[in-house]
Structure 1
Amino acid sequence: TSILFSCAAFDCIDAWWKPTPDTSYQIQLSGTLDTSYDVDMYDIDMFDTPNETIAELQQRGIKVICYFSAGTYEDWRSDKDRYSSDIIGAPLPEWEGESWVDIRSTKLREILVDRMQHETARDLGGPHAARTGKGL
Structure 2
Amino acid sequence: MGNFKNFNAILCLILICGNYVRSQNPYVWQPSVKSTFYYQTGGVLNYGVKAQIYFIDFLRNQSAVADLKNSGRRVVCNFSIGIYERNLADSNNIPKNLLGNSVPGMYQASFINIAGYQTSGVGSVMTARIDLAKQLGCDAVQFDNYDYYQMNSVTGLLLNYQIQLSYFQYLAYYARSQGLAVCLKNNLSQASDLFNSVDFVFSDTCDGTSASCNYMDQYVNNNKAAFGISYRENYLNYIVDQDWQQLCVQYILKNYSWLIRTKSQDGYSLRCAITSQSNQNIISSSSTILGNSIAITLFAFVIIFTF
Contact 1:26 1:37 in 2 (8 A): yes
Residue among 75, 80, 83 paired with 1:69: 80
Match of 2:142 among 104, 128, 133: 128
1:11 and 1:49, CA in 2 relative to 1: closer, same or farther beyond 3 A? farther
SS in 2 for 1:65: strand
CA contact (8 A) 2:75 2:139 kept: yes
1:58 to 69, 83, 106: 69
The one-letter amino acid of 1:124's match is C
State TM-score, norm by structure 1.
0.82
Q: Tell me by how many angstroms 1:114 deviates.
A: 0.6
Is 2:32 the partner of 1:28?
no
Say whether the 8 Å CA contact 2:75–2:140 is kept in structure 1.
no
Task: Report the structure, 1 or 2, having the larger helix content.
Answer: 2
Partner of 1:3: none
Larger radius of gyration: 2
The answer on 1:48 being equivalent to 2:54 is no
The count of aligned residue pairs is: 126
| Partner residue, 2:127 | 113
Residue pair 1:65, 1:125 contacting (<8 A) in 2 also: yes
Structure 1 unmatched runs, 5+: 1-7
State the AA in 1 paired with 2:43: G
Give unpaired runs (5+ residues) of structure 2: 1-20, 150-160, 166-307
Aligned to 2:25: 12
- Give the distance between the partners of 1:57 and 1:41, measured in 2 at CA: 9
User: Pairwise CA RMSD of aligned residues?
Assistant: 2.2
Q: C-alpha distance in 1, partners of 2:66/2:95? A: 34
TM-score by length of 2: 0.38
SS at match of 2:39: strand
C-alpha contact (below 8 Å) 2:98/2:113 kept by paired residues: yes
Check whether the contact 1:64–1:124 (CA below 8 A) recurs between aligned residues: yes
Alignment CA distance shift 1:120-1:28 (3 Å): same
After TM superposition, the runs of 4+ consecutive aligned structure 1 residues lying more than 6 A away are: none
